[in-house]
Amino acid sequence: MPSVGTAAVALFLLVIASTAGAQLSHKYYSTTCPGLQPLVRRIIDQALSQDPTLGAALLRLFFHDCFVNGCDASVLLDDTATFAGEKNAAPNMNSLRGFQVIDAIKSSVEAKCRQTVSCADILALAARDSVAALGGPYWAVYLGRRDSRTASQREAVANLPPPGASLSTMVSSFGAKGLAAWDTIALSGAHTIGQARCANFRQHIYNDTDVDPGFAGVRQLACPASGGDSITAPLDVQTPMVFDNDYYRNLVARKGLLHSDQQLFNGGQYDYLVSLYSTNQTAFFDDFATAMVKMGDMSPLTGSVGEIRTNCRRWN
Ligand code: HEM
């Protein structure tokens, strides 16, 4: 049984956590930047009509921002001669995309509401609108985050789970961010859209035993046992441009592309959730939307901490 001291500390931490979230609000810019949300949606729709693969890129940018010192747009800072940001951290280098869409949104937003809307909030809106534009759920985004004046390559490496991660590693790494195991399973459904590079799934299709042999064979044709590291394949073999529940159906059929994907359905504790989502898209959409709101609430900078960048690529 916890001592009174431990219980008091736990209560204190709970209060801190809930106050941080309480500072964000759906209506944060309703008087300072009315029309913000339709403007962002218009630019996302335009960008995706030219290149629908950008939707996946923008969703992932938000994840890679939030998991590294919170949702503070640290991932958007460019390296300089004296500063190594997160863009060139191993999980991000030659892999993150979509920065030009964030730039386009930021310059339109700046023209309308000068130095008012943070890059961190633009990332949150862009992720939500990308999911919705590709057929996925829609949720109200809490706003009011501010932008960091720093970034950490080391923290990016330490906090972003690698494609070879086990289920327990993923659950504990998400747990360290305040996300429950079911949030981990639901958020992984983001891999219903987008691509991965051969370097990241080679081990799985050549060496793992929990792979459908026909699927492994087809993937091996375009991902040689050595070389071709940057050749890509869809994370969802069925509908990589549609945000649906096919990701979970693939896992049940042992057609997950990454080792980490197939870990979610591998005789483990959460097979039942994968099975549920594979047959009930509404349950997946509801849980995904809830988990995205939770992820978006990770350690936001609020009040007078941080700043509102005028250019998302550098601090003011
Ligand atoms: C659970 C742990 C996770 C691992 C180990 C993981 C790993 C990866 C890897 C290795 C790639 C391919 C990158 C490349 O080859 O260049 C990828 C792509 C992607 N990830 Fe994850 N990821 C995880 C969770 C998430 C979450 C929580 C989200 C969003 C909510 C997400 C969204 C995406 C998207 C949309 C892509 C495709 C990006 C594109 O096409 O540009 N991932 N992920």
- Quick: pLDDT tens for 202-242: 999 999 999 999 999 999 999 999 999 999 999 999 999 99
Could you give the CA distance from residue 2 to residue 46 in angstroms, rounded to a whole number? 54
> Is residue 161 in contact with ligand 1, taking CB distance under 6 Å?
yes
Could you tell me the CATH number of the domain that includes residue 243?
1.10.420.10
**Residues 193, 67 within the same domain:** no
Q: Are residues 50 and 114 in the same domain?
A: yes
Residue 7 has pLDDT above 80, yes or no: no
Q: Looking at 131, 161, 191, which one is the last position of a domain?
A: 161
For helices 54-66 and 281-295, give the axis angle rounded to 10 degrees. Answer: 50
pLDDT at 17 over 60: no
Q: What is the mean pLDDT of the chain?
A: 94
The type of residue at 37 is Q
User: Does residue 42 sit in the same domain as residue 150?
Assistant: yes
Asked if 266 and 151 sit in the same domain, the reply is no
Domain extent at residue 108: 23-161
* Confidence class for position 36, pLDDT limits 50, 70, 90: very high
Q: Is residue 95 part of a domain?
A: yes
Looking from the CA of residue 67, the nearest atom of ligand 1 is 27
Report the nearest atom of ligand 1 relative to the CA of 96.
41
In a domain, 313, yes or no: no
DSSP classification of residue 1: -
Q: Examine residue 87 and state whether it is found in any structural domain, yes or no.
A: yes
Asked if residue 269 belongs to a domain, the reply is yes
195 within ligand 1 shell (Cβ under 6 A): yes
Pick the catalytic residue: 26, 64, 204, 259? 64
22 falls in which pLDDT band (50, 70, 90)? low
Pair 27, 151 in one domain: yes
Can you tell me the distance from the alpha carbon of 288 to that of 274, in angstroms, rounded to the nearest whole number? 13
Overall average pLDDT of the 103-120 stretch: 98
Q: Is the pLDDT of residue 56 over 50?
A: yes
The tens digit of pLDDT for each residue in 68-84 reads 999 999 999 999 999 99
Atom 40 of ligand 1: nearest residue by CA position: 194
CA distances (Å), origin 260, targets 32, 110, 256: 42, 39, 8
Give residue 33 CA to ligand 1 midpoint distance, Å. 32
Give me ligand 1 centre to Cα 60, in Å: 6
286 and 171 together in one domain: yes
User: What's the CA-to-centroid distance between 182 and ligand 1, angstroms?
Assistant: 17
Q: Report the DSSP beta bridge partners of residue 80.
A: 83
- Annotated catalytic residue 259: no
Q: Cα separation of 216 and 266, whole Å?
A: 16
Query: Is residue 299 one of the residues assigned to a domain?
Result: no
Between 99 and 6, residue with greater pLDDT:
99
Q: Which ligand 1 atom is nearest residue 193's CA?
A: 35
CATH of the domain at 119: 1.10.520.10
Token code pair at residue 124: 């949150």
Q: Which pLDDT score, from 0 to 100, does residue 23 have?
A: 84
Residues 48 and 101 both lie in one domain: yes
Cβ of 74 less than 6 Å from ligand 1: no
Mean pLDDT value across residues 80-101: 97
Pair (190, 78) in one structural domain: no
Q: Are residues 175 and 287 in the same domain?
A: yes
For the cut 70, the answer to whether the pLDDT of residue 123 exceeds it is yes
Predicted pLDDT at 259: 98
Q: Is 92 in the pocket of ligand 1 (CB under 6 A)?
A: no
On whether residue 15 sits in a domain, the answer given is no
Instruction: Specify the number of domains making up the chain.
Output: 2
Which of 161, 186, 212 corresponds to the end of one domain? 161
pLDDT over 50 at 1, yes or no: no
- Chosen domain end from 161, 178, 199: 161
Q: What residues are paired with 25 via a beta bridge?
A: 143
Per-residue confidence (pLDDT) for residue 115, from 0 to 100: 97
Question: Looking at the predicted structure, is the pLDDT value of residue 139 above 90?
Answer: yes
On whether both 230 and 271 belong to a single domain, the answer is yes
pLDDT band at 12; cut points 50, 70, 90: very low
Tell me what pLDDT residue 100 has: 98
Sign of the Cα torsion 21, 22, 26, 30 reads: negative
Whether the CB of 177 sits within 6 Å of ligand 1: no
Segment 281-304 mean pLDDT: 97
Q: Within a domain: residue 199?
A: yes
Same-domain status, 125 and 171: no
Q: Does ligand 1 lie within 6 Å of residue 112's CB atom?
A: no
Residues 196 and 148 in one domain: no
Say if 142 falls within a structural domain.
yes
Of the listed ranges 20-29, 101-110, 304-313, the one predicted with least confidence? 20-29
What is the spatial distance between Cα 146 and Cα 178, in angstroms, rounded to a whole number?
20
Say whether pLDDT at 14 is over 60: no
